């Protein structure tokens, strides 16, 4: 069973749950319950604004512990709670995290109990943001997120959808089960065997762009989420990871070396430069299959009712890596299909001479490109395993499990 499975057994861990003021605060109750079901001891801290949405009594009744809002409050049993609270836990989870608390964390502001707790915390920190789409996309928020990622903070990216304010877009708090799964994955990290220690992973991620003219291009919907999930999971399991990244909608995880490559040609060049140092190659990028045979030097004017583009094949990066591999490198591909998924993936496995291929049906809304979840099949020359819908973090660990089995010859 994957270590990121919410039902996977973990040793008893202590978790601090920070709750901020926003309509999504009620979902923190389900995060608390999910962590408790996994065997965690949970203590809760709330901002004053969070208390406007959910009363501390709710969390006190469920956690069995005093809920801290203000460490200067007369009923607070611990006069230095932000120190003892933060340094006696295995993980700090903040869900929901508002734009305000993210800004405080990123800039070292400690003007309330939760922000003081963050600065005093010696445990890993997991943040699940929730805010209006415009606030989420604002340059200041994105700058603060980059700073926190550089500081080693983990994130559960917000979902896209309709907000309480009526806005539609990214910013909605991710589902509680995903937050719990991410928390358990971090908690399990210290207990997880480093079964990929010594391996050097090279992973392609995201979409490529093939230019038509200076303003237009051919591309696809790949976000890079699956590739980055693989990179993050491999690092946690002891591997050194280099990512060749095309266009992505999410930031890379910490501990990963990133090489940018925007076109198929650039990706091939970057992969060729890095492949000699890799022991495992995973082609998770959605590289455009075709590109314009000629790129227009100037913007094509809208002068005719229709135009004809002549396309030519782009280089097959995966095939070239498989054909030129050396020193026992394992090569794993992806097959994003909309029909005859297993049959097409198996044909690709054999024709490209891969060690394994990951197939997924991208025609479903909850699986494939730019989703939080994936439903995959892992196919090798020995067997084919179809997996149920799961988070991309869970799917990443299942793929890595398969790589370990191949390396062991089982």
Structure-block tokens of residue 251: 């930031």
- What is the C-alpha to C-alpha distance for residues 83 and 87, in angstroms, rounded to an integer? 6
Where is 171: in which H helix or E strand? strand 168-172
Residue with tokens 């010696």: 122
Helices and strands in the chain: count of H runs, count of E runs: 13, 21
**312-329 in b/e burial notation, b at 16+ Cβ within 10 A?**
eebbbbbbebbeebeeeb
- What is the C-alpha to C-alpha distance for residues 93 and 128, in angstroms, rounded to an integer? 8
Catalytic residues: 165
CA end-to-end span of the chain:
17
In 226-295, the DSSP E strands lie at: 240-245, 257-260, 280-283, 290-292
Decide if 53 contacts 22 (C-beta within 8 A): yes
Decide if 174 contacts 153 (C-beta within 8 A): no
Which residues make Cβ contacts (< 8 Å) with residue 159, sequence separation at least 6? 170, 172, 173, 174, 175, 372
Q: Report the sign of the C-alpha dihedral through residues 285, 289, 293, 296, in that order.
A: negative
| Long-range CB contacts for residues 101-109, cutoff 8 Å, separation at least 24 | 101/18, 101/20, 101/47, 102/127, 102/129, 102/141, 102/144, 102/145, 102/148, 103/140, 103/141, 103/144, 105/144, 105/148, 105/153, 106/143, 106/144, 106/145, 106/147, 106/148, 106/151, 107/144, 107/147
* Parallel/antiparallel/unpaired status of strands 200-205 and 240-245: parallel
């Amino acid at each position: 069973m994957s270590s990121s499975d919410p039902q996977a057994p973990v040793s008893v861990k202590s978790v601090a749950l920070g709750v901020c003021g926003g309509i999504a605060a009620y979902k923190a109750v389900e995060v608390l319950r999910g962590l408790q079901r996994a065997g965690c001891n949970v203590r809760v801290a709330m901002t004053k604004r969070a208390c406007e949405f959910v009363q501390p009594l709710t969390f006190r009744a469920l956690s069995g512990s005093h809920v801290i809002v203000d460490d200067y409050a007369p009923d607070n049993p611990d006069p230095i709670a932000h120190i003892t609270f933060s340094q006696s836990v295995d993980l700090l989870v903040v869900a929901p995290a508002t734009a305000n608390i993210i800004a405080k964390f990123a800039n070292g502001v400690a003007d309330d109990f939760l922000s003081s707790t963050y600065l005093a915390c010696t445990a890993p920190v997991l943040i699940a943001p929730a805010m209006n789409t415009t606030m989420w996309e604002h340059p200041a928020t994105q700058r603060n997120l980059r700073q926190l990622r550089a500081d080693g903070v983990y994130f559960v990216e917000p979902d896209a959808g309709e907000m309480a304010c009526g806005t539609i877009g990214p910013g909605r708090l991710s589902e509680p089960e995903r937050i719990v799964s991410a928390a358990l994955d971090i908690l399990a990290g210290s207990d997880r065997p480093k079964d990929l220690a010594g391996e050097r992973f090279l992973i392609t991620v995201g979409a490529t762009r093939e230019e038509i003219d200076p303003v237009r291009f051919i591309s696809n919907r790949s976000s890079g989420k699956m590739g980055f999930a693989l990179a993050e999971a491999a690092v946690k399991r002891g591997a050194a990871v280099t990512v060749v990244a095309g266009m992505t909608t999410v930031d890379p995880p910490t501990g990963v070396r990133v090489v940018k490559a925007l076109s198929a040609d650039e990706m091939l060049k970057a992969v060729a430069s890095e492949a000699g140092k890799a022991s495992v190659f995973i082609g998770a990028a959605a590289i455009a299959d075709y590109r314009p045979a000629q790129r227009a030097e100037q913007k094509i004017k809208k002068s005719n009712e229709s135009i004809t583009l002549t396309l030519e094949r782009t280089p097959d990066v995966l095939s070239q890596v498989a054909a030129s591999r050396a020193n026992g490198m394992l090569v794993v591909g992806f097959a994003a299909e909309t029909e005859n998924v297993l049959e097409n993936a198996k044909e690709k496995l054999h024709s490209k001479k891969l060690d394994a291929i990951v197939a997924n049906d991208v025609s479903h809304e909850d699986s494939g490109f730019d989703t939080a979840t994936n439903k995959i099949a892992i196919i090798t020359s020995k067997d084919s395993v179809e997996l149920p819908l799961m988070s991309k973090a869970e799917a990443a660990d299942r793929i890595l499990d398969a790589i370990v089995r191949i390396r062991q010859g089982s």
